[in-house]
A and B are shown apart, each in its own frame.
Chain A
Amino acid sequence: AAGVIQSPRHLIKEKRETATLKCYPIPRHDTVYWYQQGPGQDPQFLISFYEKMQSDKGSIPDRFSAQQFSDYHSELNMSSLELGDSALYFCASRVGGGGGTDTQYFGPGTRLTVL
Chain B
Amino acid sequence: AQSVSQHNHHVILSEAASLELGCNYSYGGTVNLFWYVQYPGQHLQLLLKYFSGDPLVKGIKGFEAEFIKSKFSFNLRKPSVQWSDTAEYFCAVNARNDYKLSFGAGTTVTVRA
- Interface residues of A, Cβ cutoff 8 Å to B: 31, 33, 35, 41-45, 48, 56, 58, 90, 92, 94, 96, 102-109
Q: Give the complex CA separation of A96 and B98 in angstroms.
A: 11
Residues of A within 8 A of B51 (CB): 102
- Which residues from chain A contact B34 at a C-beta distance below 8 Å? 103
List residues of B whose CB falls within 8 A of some A CB: 32, 34, 36, 42-46, 49, 51, 90, 94, 96, 98-106
Indicate if the CB atoms of B43 and A90 lie closer than 8 Å: yes
B42 & A33 in contact (Cβ 8 Å cutoff): no
A-B contact pairs, 28 of them (CB 8 A): A31-B99, A42-B104, A42-B106, A43-B44, A43-B90, A43-B103, A45-B100, A45-B101, A45-B102, A48-B99, A48-B100, A56-B99, A56-B100, A90-B43, A94-B99, A96-B99, A102-B96, A103-B34, A103-B46, A104-B99, A104-B101, A106-B36, A106-B43, A106-B44, A107-B43, A108-B42, A108-B43, A109-B43
